[in-house]
Structures are given as structure tokens and as C-alpha cells.
Amino acid sequence: MIRRPKPPPWLDLSTPLTDRARTQLCAWCRHPVLRALVGHVAALDVRADPKPLTPLEEITARLQGRTTYCLRIHPALKPRLLNRSPEHIRSGRCRHLVVADHHCTRKPAPADHHTTHTNRLF
């Protein structure tokens, strides 16, 4: 077994570096999410719910303003998140799994009330 060296502590590995989907927990609601960079030129850091959608659920998610993605799973490759463009949607039923943007079910923790608010920047 080959031992890989530990990454340096200053390297932030929580942000995705590729379009390969990884599972993480949402920082606010603690639900599992898929996280990856989506797009070729200006990639977006995407958090998507791992639950596959039916065509009706995809339409509902789109009407709610959520973006949908294809979760491409191949036996020999790592899962990838791909953007579902209008052309992709118009071409018919997707042969990959369709997932939507993550929608948190719980509000974030309240702000600390011990700080004083002034009109100063620093």
C-alpha cells in the first residue's frame, strides 16, 4: 500500500477543484450535498441535493428558480456534475441522473448579539 503524504494545513481541501462530484455536509442544515465545479470556462461552485429527480420534479424545481444538473455516473470514472442547458433539456429524457441545487431546510445560526454596531468600517 502506498502512503500519500498529508496535505499542508494551509491548503483548503473543502472547496472543489474539479467537476468530479464529492459528497459533503451542508454547513447550515447538515444534510448531505454533492459539491463540484460546473462549467468549462468560468466554473461555478455548485452544491446539489443528491436525490435524483423525476421529470415532473425537475419542472417543479425549475419553476422554483433552482438550477438542475446531470449527475453522470460511469463504472470506471468518478461521478461528474454537468450543467443542464436548455438544449440538453429539449433533447428529451436524460440518460443520467438529474439533480437540483441544494435548498437548505433550516436557517443559519443567529448572529452574535454581543457586538456593538457603529458606523465605522474598522
Residue 114 in domain: no
Instruction: Confirm whether 59 is domain-assigned.
Output: yes
Q: What confidence score (pLDDT) does residue 101 get?
A: 93
CA–CA dist 4, 76 (Å, integer): 22
Whether 95 maps to a domain, the answer reads yes
User: What does pTM read for this prediction?
Assistant: 0.69
Q: Would you state the pLDDT for residue 51?
A: 92
pLDDT value, residue 107: 61
Which pLDDT does position 15 carry in this prediction? 65
User: What are the 10-residue block averages of pLDDT along the chain, 122 residues in total?
Assistant: 74 67 85 85 83 92 92 86 84 87 70 48 38
Q: Is 121 domain-assigned? A: no
Q: Which long-range contacts (CB under 8 A, 24 or more apart) does 46-52 make?
A: 46/81, 46/101, 47/101, 47/102, 48/21, 48/81, 48/99, 48/100, 48/101, 48/102, 49/99, 49/100, 49/101, 49/102, 49/103, 50/23, 50/99, 51/99, 52/97, 52/98, 52/99
Provide the domain count of the chain.
Answer: 1
Domain, as residue range, for 34 = 22-100
Q: What is the pLDDT of residue 11?
A: 62
CA 30 to chain centre: 14
What is the per-residue pLDDT for 49?
93
In a domain, 5, yes or no: no
